[in-house]
Chains A and B, each alone.
Chain A
Amino acid sequence: MVQEPVVRIQGVSKKIGSKTLIDNLTLDIPPGQVYGFLGPNGSGKTTTIRMMVGLMSITQGDILIQGSSIKSDFERAVSHVGAIVENPEMYKFLTGYQNMVHYARMSPGITRERIMEAVERVGMQHRIHDKVKTYSLGMRQRLGVAQAILHRPKLLVLDEPTNGLDPQGIRELRDYLRILAKEEGTTVFVSSHLLSEMELMCDTVAVIQQGRLIDVKELNHGDAPADGQRETAFDVDHPAQALELIGAGRIEGSSLIVAVDRSAAAAINAKLVMAGISVYGIRVVTRSLEDQFLEMTGGGHIG
């Protein structure tokens, strides 16, 4: 991927008084991805996002969105952004549709048709003329997404979007974000402290702790290159015997674990079967993001 990053966070720091909330953060976000921003509570995720969308001032450094500085060319930079920071906020005394109109008036060239298109995308067309005060949180979340994508932003920023959603709502949102990234090429930048969720949703995850970037990880959703060496577990009836036969790897419970590629895994299977060892299962061992995350952040202590 040699495409120009959608967002460039360049040496950004945020200090309030003597407290440093964000310390010299540098991060490029490539286009067309669902990009996760992961960190324990109080690590500076929300602060970073607030600086990205102009809600907070930047003490040091700069953030470029599509090449425009959020500091010196705010209107142009933020015109590429759709954002929901924390809860989706609405005017409760207006209807959903009036809320959409309110939002649409703030961006150039949005037609009535476009509003209805966005509303239908999130499946809100049947309730759109009801007052927002009658909506559930899940419905407000959907309307929030409809607003945020109304002007077809290059970058969609979502801060803890699944907070308070039920499992079905989370799943819908997740699927929807992936579609948005794949079909419309929108870059989605999403923060969360829920690891399992990020694992399902994101292409890449940046991990932040105490205001510092500690790692950037690409996640593969089972469609990783087939020729890589991966830890593979063979579930067998006599692991010790299998280890002796193969001469490599280690034993965990009733499994023999070897780092091999796909063809070698098949060969080992054949060898085991030939030797009269029953193979009950073969699977690739993936360490969950949670394991990796806890490893990196040392248990995720606050502060």
Chain B
Amino acid sequence: MGDFLKLVQNENMKIYRRLRTWIMFAILVLLMMLFGVLFYMGSSSSPIGAWDAVDQLSFLYFLVSIFSVVVAADIVAAEFTWGTIKLLLVRPWTRTKILVSKLLAVLLFTLAMSAVYLLANMAVSFLLFPDIQSGVFPKGSGGPLGYIMEDLLYNYIDLLVITIFAFMVSTVFRTSGLAIGLSMFILFAGNIFTMLFHPTRYAWAKYMLFVNMDLGQYRGGQVGPAGMTLGFSAAVLTGYVLAFLLIAWFVFKKRDVAA
């Protein structure tokens, strides 16, 4: 029946035809430029290399996480708010396919936003700090680019988990506010939880979502607290993500759409 990719195309249209989305991209690029200039002015006494600037500017990736969460939190809930969910559900597509098309559109958005982030970061860094020599990055292991990309990958996985969490809350509660709020809470309160319930003190704590989200802690084969490894955290995260998706799917499939 029809072409599934057209559903994804529809979801993309609903994301990119909104002014909001372009404001997000603009904020990301503008802040990147702003902080680049600030670093440039602050580094007149001790100059830094372009790759060092890329690394320093990478804290702005949290914006990508926030914007991804906003889009994911809205994509199902908004259809309920607008009443347009009825439009989608009375067409010859199963609810599963509708939900998957929305999830795919969100994932494409996270990729697009990450790509814009990376391009903006590199462009700002290399334009302002054309001196490519860097004293900070160690030799070997793929050089600075490899290091930056590995870092980005860890951050992206962190983003994915939180975005899919927002997607689930959006689907289950049909309110984007709650989805955004809870996701931000996890994003920023995670460290506090990790401190309160540290895996070295509580055996069960290593199964918590928060303590596993930062895969960067295993960089270079390091072992985390209480013997946690990269494989362990990856497995726990996969488990959580699958659970989020199953809950979202089950609720979306079963729900009676009234009002």
Chains A and B bind each other? yes
* 7 closest Cβ pairs, A-B complex: A89-B83, A105-B6, A79-B92, A106-B91, A55-B257, A75-B92, A56-B256
Contact A105–B10 (Cβ < 8 Å): yes
For the complex, give the distance between the alpha carbons of A220 and B60 in Å.
71
The reply on B238 being an interface residue by CB < 8 A is no
Contact A93–B92 (Cβ < 8 Å): no
For the complex, give the distance between the alpha carbons of A277 and B43 in Å.
114
The reply on A102 being an interface residue by CB < 8 A is yes
| Residues on the B chain within 8 Å of A53, using CB | 89-90
The reply on B231 being an interface residue by CB < 8 A is no
Q: Please encode chain B, from 73 to 97, with 1 for each CB lying within 8 Å of some chain A CB and 0 for all others.
A: 0000000001110111111111000
For the complex, give the distance between the alpha carbons of A78 and B10 in Å.
19
Which of A56, A81, A90, A91 has most chain B Cβ within 10 Å? A91
Of B9, B84, B91, B254, the residue contacting A107 (CB under 8 A) is B91
Q: Which B residues from 60 to 114 make CB contacts under 8 A with A?
A: 82-84, 86-94
Which of B18, B82, B84, B87 has most chain A Cβ within 10 Å? B87
Please list the residues of chain B having a beta carbon within 8 angstroms of any beta carbon in chain A. Answer: 1-3, 6-7, 9-10, 13-14, 17-19, 82-84, 86-94, 254, 256-258
| Residues on the A chain within 8 Å of B7, using CB | 105-106
Contact A90–B84 (Cβ < 8 Å): yes
Contact A93/B87 with A56-B256, A105-B9 known, Cβ cut-off 8 Å: no
| Residues on the A chain within 8 Å of B87, using CB | 89, 103, 147
Contact A93–B18 (Cβ < 8 Å): yes
For the complex, give the distance between the alpha carbons of A166 and B33 in Å.
54
Contact A75–B94 (Cβ < 8 Å): yes
B74, chain A: closest CB distance, angstroms = 12
For the complex, give the distance between the alpha carbons of A87 and B85 in Å.
12
Contact B258–A50 (Cβ < 8 Å): yes
Q: Which A residues from 77 to 107 make CB contacts under 8 A with B?
A: 78-79, 81, 83, 85-87, 89-94, 98, 101-103, 105-107
Contact A108–B90 (Cβ < 8 Å): no
For the complex, give the distance between the alpha carbons of A141 and B92 in Å.
22
Contact B10–A94 (Cβ < 8 Å): no
Contact B93–A85 (Cβ < 8 Å): no
Contact A56/B258 with A89-B82, A89-B83, A93-B17 known, Cβ cut-off 8 Å: yes
Contact A94/B17 with A57-B256, A75-B1, A89-B82 known, Cβ cut-off 8 Å: yes
Contact A98–B13 (Cβ < 8 Å): yes
| Residues on the A chain within 8 Å of B94, using CB | 74-75
- Is the interface on chain A under 10, 10 to 19, 20 to 34, or 35 or more residues? 20 to 34
Q: List 12 A-B contacts (CB under 8 A).
A: A50-B256, A55-B256, A74-B92, A78-B92, A85-B86, A87-B83, A89-B86, A91-B14, A91-B82, A102-B13, A106-B6, A108-B3
Contact B257–A50 (Cβ < 8 Å): yes
For the complex, give the distance between the alpha carbons of A98 and B89 in Å.
18
Contact A81/B1 with A89-B83, A98-B17 known, Cβ cut-off 8 Å: no
A126, chain B: closest CB distance, angstroms = 22
For the complex, give the distance between the alpha carbons of A169 and B166 in Å.
42
Contact A54/B84 with A79-B1, A98-B17, A105-B6 known, Cβ cut-off 8 Å: no
The reply on A271 being an interface residue by CB < 8 A is no
The reply on A129 being an interface residue by CB < 8 A is no
Of A16, A55, A74, A76, the residue contacting B86 (CB under 8 A) is A55
Contact A102–B10 (Cβ < 8 Å): yes
For the complex, give the distance between the alpha carbons of A147 and B86 in Å.
13
A13, chain B: closest CB distance, angstroms = 14
Which of A54, A86, A105 has most chain B Cβ within 10 Å? A105
B8, chain A: closest CB distance, angstroms = 10
| Residues on the B chain within 8 Å of A76, using CB | 1, 92
| Residues on the B chain within 8 Å of A50, using CB | 256-258
Q: Which residue of B lies closest to A82 (CB)?
A: B90
B11, chain A: closest CB distance, angstroms = 10
Which of B82, B86, B254 has most chain A Cβ within 10 Å? B86
